[in-house]
Structure formats: C-alpha cells, structure tokens
Amino acid sequence: MRQDHQHYHTDLAAVDDRRLNPSQAADLDTIINRSRRQVLKGGLALAAIGLFGGGLLGCQRSPGTPGSAPLLGFTGVAAQTAADFDQVLVAEGYSARPFFSWGDAVLDNAPAWLDDASQDWQAQLLQAGDNHDGMHFFPFEDAPNTHGLLVINHEYINPTLHPDGLTFTHLADGRRQRPVDQVRKEQAAHGVSVLEIRRDAEGQWQRVAGSRLHRRISAMTPMAIGGPLAGDLRMRTASDPSGTEVLGTLNNCSMGVTPWGTYLTCEENFHNYFVNRDAADHATRPTHQRYGIGQDQHSAYYAWESVDPRFDATPDPAVEYQGHVNEPNRFGWVVEIDPFDPDSKPIKRTAMGRLGRECSVVSLGDDGRMAVYSGDDARGEYVWKFVPDGRHDASNPSASRHLLDTGTLYAARFDEDGHGHWLPLIWGQNGLTEDNGFADQQAVLLNARGAADILGATPMDRPEWVAVHPDSREVYVTLTNNRDRGSRFPVDAANPRANNQHGQIVRWREANADPAATTFEWDVFLLAGDQPGALDADGQPLPDNLIGNIQGDIFSSPDGLAFDGAGRLWIQTDSDDEAAHTVNTGCNQLLCADPQTREVRRFLVGPRGGEITGITWTPDYRTLWINVQHPGISYPASDGHSRPRSTTVVITHDQGKVIGS
C-alpha cells in the first residue's frame, strides 16, 4: 500500500511545466508548476579521443536488423497501475539490472554511498549526481560494443539528497536561509558524469577502476562562453567581469551528440535557480521575464542565493555590472563537452540561442551540412533548429570543433495545411529590430523566445525530445502535454487537443531531406492517451481530451525519444502517475514504435513515482541503457523503505539479441 511507503518525491523536486509565452497568453503571473521530466538519445555511434585537444573519430552505423523481419520482435508487457509498483519490468527474454545510481563512485577516490545520505559535498563531487536524465554511450574504436564512456546528465536534486530533506530557515523578511553545506552538496549533485565502462568476461558491464577519463562536471565547474555572447556586456557579472567564464551548468535535461564526438548537454529549467526581487527592473528585462526568472522568495526553488550571491539576480547599482543581474543570461545554453579529454573546459555555445532547452539533436546531411534540433519545454514554447554556417568534414573532424559558434537559429511554424516553415532569427529582419527591443544579434540570441514570438512561430504543447530517423532523416518531436491548450493557446492542427493531458508526437520531413532546408512537411504521428471507449477509475467514460489514437499499447506524456539503427522509434514517458488521467496508463514506461505501421508496443515499465528517461545503446544495439529518474518508493532496493535513487539501468537480451528485434 502506497501510504505505508515513505514517499520522498515532493513538490520541490520537479518543475519543467511552465507557461511563459505571453504571445498567446495573458496572465503571466499565475505560473503554476508541477510535473516531472526526462530524456534520451541514440543514433550516432562514435569513437573518439580528445577532440578539443586535437583528436579524431570514426562514425559507425550499426547494422540493426536485416531485411524482412518485423521491426518489433518482442512481446509487450502490461501497464502497471498498482500504487506500490517498485520495479523495472522488461519484456520476456530480457534482463534489466541497476547499473549506476545516485551516489555510486565516479572518481576512484569516491567513498561508498551511505543509505542515510549523510555524506558531505566533497564526497558528492566524486560520486554520481542526482536525477539521471539524458545520456550517451561513446564507444572506443577498438572494442566498440564492450568498452566506452557512458556520459549522463544529472538534472536537478531531490530532498532525498540530505538525511532529512532540504533545510530552510525562514527569516523575518520572508526570505529563506539555507545551510551552506547543503547548498554545496546540491550544486555538486548537478551536472554530468563521465564514466569509463567495460563489459567483463561474464558479460556484465563494470566501471573501469583507475581510468583517468572518469569525470564529474557540476554546478561549480568552470566553463567557457563561446560564440557571439563571449565577453559581451550582458554576460558580465561582479564575479566574472570578463563575461567569458561561467561556473557550472544547471538542469541538464536531454542532450545531443556531435559527428565529431562531443557531448551536448542542455540547460532546461535554469529559471528555477534565480530570483530578481526588483519588480521595476524585472519588468524591463525580457531575458528575465520571458524566461520565468521569479521575483519573490519562493522563485528560486532551492534558495541558493541565500549563501551563493550569484544566484541573486536582483540588480545592485552599487556593484560592478550591477552584481549578478546578468547571471541568468549565462544559462539556457547548449554546453559542449569533450568526454575523451577530462581536462577540457566545457563551452557554452551561444550562437544556438538561449532556451529552456530540452535537447540538441544532430541531423547530418550528405554534404556535411547539419541541423541541431531542440525543444524548448514550457507550455506554448517552440521547436527549434540551428544550422551551422560550416560543414562537417568526416575526414577532418577536429576542424569542426567550433562549428557551433556560427550559424542560423530558426523557430518552427507548423501551418494548418501540413506545410511548415523555419523562421530565421536574424537581427534586422522581420521585426527583430531596435524598435522591438533587439539592439543586435546578441539580444536576439539572449531572448530567442521573444524573437520567435515576433516571427510568428507556432506555440507547441511543451516540446521535449527530438529524434532523427537514421536513413530518411525524418524528424520526430515529443510534445509532452499542455493543460493550457484551448485556453491560453488556441487549438491548432499540430496541437489539436484542448486541455491536452497526454501529449502527442509530431514528425516532419525537411525539403529534399536537407537538414538546412527552410521548409518542411509535417503530420501528427500519434496522439497519446487512452483508447476510445476506455473508462475512468469509477467506470465512467473518459472525456474526449483523454482519448488518443495509439495503435497498440497506451501511454501518457511522451518525453524521451530516439531511433535505433534499424529505425525503431523508442518512446519514454514522463507522466504524473498520481494523476487521475493516468489511471490506465500507470507507471512511466519505455515503448517501441514502428514508424511505418505506427504500431506501439510497451517494452518496459518503471517504478511508481519515477520517470523513464535517457536512452543509449552500444553500436551493435545489443546493450541498452535507460534511466529511472526520481523513483518514488525505494527503487532499486524495492524493499519498501530504502532511500530511492535515480538509477541507470542496463538491459540485455538473455540470448544476446538486438534489443527489440
């Protein structure tokens, strides 16, 4: 029974469900959040070394499955609706094992994890962070299916991070004071883990002891600013007067992988870490307002500003660069990391625009031109792509190392007739002018959301992950849900359900399959939710907004999305499994779809209270990793009382088959 379990997941934890787009929306102030989130990625299989330091790599595509076999070759599993479900259930013939949990060793000198969470921030800096999200396996060239680097995002932190949750002292002026050691531990539990792993003689994946490649990147790690905002006045703060170096990355949700072997980690809900208490200033500052930087003592969820002034974005005219008012400008970016060089400095790529960025997924054209697709996950935000000016040359990958510093950023418009347009964010064009608050291209990039409002991009139902078909380059995006559709945002063809609780998947084909095209054709791949005729918990017919058109197994709130090498579309869910609308879809899950037949089959179900996110494979697609983020009861212990831990799960077929075949 649920109430017998200690429930660790609280309101504080998950918050990626904001509505901030005022272009269709009144009432900016009533921003209510509650939800969860997640990620994934696959596609390019790479082997590389030291790219930023000068390296190389080869791009391999796995064979996947041959010829005429049906794409979905496994027996589906049932939805799990029990309140105390606390396992990972996977299709028959497969095994799913916990592999890497919050608190496990990353660096060799990490202490063992303690079940009471009593370890300090210095220990946390050596261990796996919290809330595993997007990830990618980078194979080593000499043994690509048995040896490589697993790179994992740690999105945010749960109250379980500390023995008795987060401590807040409420001050007389209404502000909240945090203990400095807790804040440091929370900052240490954010970021990215890089882990060298190898499959042993018994077929078990293990962390490689003694590797110099293990690395923890946190909210304290120095990072460079690349692209047009490097050194810009709007990036300067009291602690970084040069505007060229940021400490850390925040809310790393989904990700991407470049053809030159680097990892792109994406900063999603960075607004939850800042406060600007100066209402007059806030009202004139679109880089705060349009991105949801709050104004009161509860705006910054963890109140880090009480011990770390750079999270207090209230302007202070007495201090150089007004203190830290520009610090929020330094988040919301794609951060490029070379996982093969543990000494390399991560770089925030500002040419790609500042968003509540879920992912950055690369589509590479035959001619070396490319698109990097992103969702901006808030209610009524947009689908994006960035097209670098340069081309990637596979014979000279190190020449691509700064390819993401120059190019064109586009927001998508989905027209009612199935055509679509990519709207370029170019200063001086189509209203992106001084008169509308854009002094230069840097201003456009810092307030990309506001620029796309002017261009007339289509407000979407919370764009999350993007996946590109390995052969056709057809692009799919998850739109996870949007309860404001039909009220704040008008129903349209791509977002067709009012009070959209279950979400949909939309896909498009670029003109001539060219990633750099400016037009496309699109359709709705599926509407998630219950089958026609389904009943609620009281046996009553469900309202229309909860009925989908899935052919096969039902789910709610698609989020993670990736293709494997054979063209199977893997879908991960992040629904609120305590809500009435998920009574039939149950716990969050991993499903597999055939893009041609549209059949959907459930491959795996995760524990109650968690979401399923992050997806990556070995190049032969015979080992699959996924993440269970913020499980609610005790996973992976499944004993009903142990402290639950976000966990990377490794999945193999008992006879070594390609996963899903």
Angle at 353 between CA 560 and CA 152, to 5 degrees: 35
- Asked if 405 touches ligand FEO (CB under 6 A), the answer is no
Angle at 301 between CA 296 and CA 302, to 5 degrees: 115
Q: Determine the residue with CB nearest ligand FEO.
A: 37
Measure the CA–CA gap between 212 and 489, rounded to whole angstroms. 50
Question: How, if at all, do strands 419-424 and 222-226 pair?
Answer: unpaired
Site for ligand FEO in 461-520 (CB under 6 A): 464
Residues 6+ apart with CB under 8 A from 521: 418, 419, 420, 508, 509, 511
Site for Ca ion in 611-640 (CB under 5 A): 629
Question: Stretches 104-112, 119-127, 449-457, 555-563: which one binds Ca ion (CB under 5 A)?
Answer: 555-563
Give the CB-side neighbour count of residue 358, counting CA atoms within 13 A.
Answer: 36
Measure the CA–CA gap between 625 and 242, rounded to whole angstroms. 40
13, 15, 38, 223: residue in contact with Ca ion (rule CB under 5 A): 38
Per the structure block, which two tokens stand in for 108? Answer: 């060799």
- Asked if 154 touches Ca ion (CB under 5 A), the answer is no
**Which helix (H) or strand (E) covers residue 178, if one does?**
none
Cis before 636? omega within 30: yes
Site for ligand FEO in 598-657 (CB under 6 A): none
Measure the CA–CA gap between 244 and 247, rounded to whole angstroms. 10
Amino acid present at 473: R
- Asked if 278 touches ligand FEO (CB under 6 A), the answer is no
Q: How far is the CB of 263 from Ca ion (least distance, A)?
A: 17
Decide which of Ca ion, ligand FEO, none touches 130; Cβ closer than 5 to 8 Å per partner kind: none
Measure the CA–CA gap between 549 and 575, rounded to whole angstroms. 17
Site for ligand FEO in 375-404 (CB under 6 A): 377
Residues 6+ apart with CB under 8 A from 27: 488
Q: How far is the CB of 478 from ligand FEO (least distance, A)?
A: 9
Q: How far is the CB of 172 from ligand FEO (least distance, A)?
A: 35
Nearer to ligand FEO, 255 or 337 (CB): 255
Measure the CA–CA gap between 564 and 303, rounded to whole angstroms. 41
Contact string (CB under 6 A) for ligand FEO, positions 343-372, x = contact = ---------------x--------------
The residue length of the chain stands at 661
Nearer to Ca ion, 623 or 629 (CB): 629
Contact string (CB under 6 A) for ligand FEO, positions 14-33, x = contact = --x-----------------
Quick one: DSSP state of residue 280? H
Rg (CA), the chain: 23
Q: How far is the CB of 354 from ligand FEO (least distance, A)?
A: 16
Tell me how far the alpha carbon of residue 285 is from its chain's centroid.
26
Site for Ca ion in 470-499 (CB under 5 A): 480
Nearer to ligand FEO, 132 or 282 (CB): 132
Decide which of ligand FEO, Ca ion, none touches 405; Cβ closer than 5 to 8 Å per partner kind: none
Burial label for 133, CB within 10 Å (0-12, 13-18, 19+), is: buried
Tracing tokens 């893997």 back to the chain, one arrives at: 570
Q: How far is the CB of 328 from Ca ion (least distance, A)?
A: 21
First to last CA, the chain: 36
186, 267, 268, 336: residue in contact with ligand FEO (rule CB under 6 A): 268
Q: What is the DSSP string of 580-607?
A: GGGTTT-S-EEEEE-TTT-EEEEEEE--
Q: How far is the CB of 208 from Ca ion (least distance, A)?
A: 28
Decide which of ligand FEO, Ca ion, none touches 268; Cβ closer than 5 to 8 Å per partner kind: ligand FEO
253, 457, 583, 612: residue in contact with ligand FEO (rule CB under 6 A): 253
Nearer to ligand FEO, 358 or 474 (CB): 358
Q: Are 135 and 157 in contact (CB under 8 A)?
A: no
Decide which of Ca ion, ligand FEO, none touches 602; Cβ closer than 5 to 8 Å per partner kind: none
38, 145, 289, 557: residue in contact with ligand FEO (rule CB under 6 A): 38
Question: Stretches 62-70, 338-346, 509-517, 554-562: which one binds Ca ion (CB under 5 A)?
Answer: 554-562
Q: Which residues bind ligand FEO (CB under 6 A)?
A: 16, 37-38, 155, 253, 268, 358, 377, 464
Applying CB under 5 A, the residues found at the interface with Ca ion are 36-38, 464, 480, 559, 574, 629
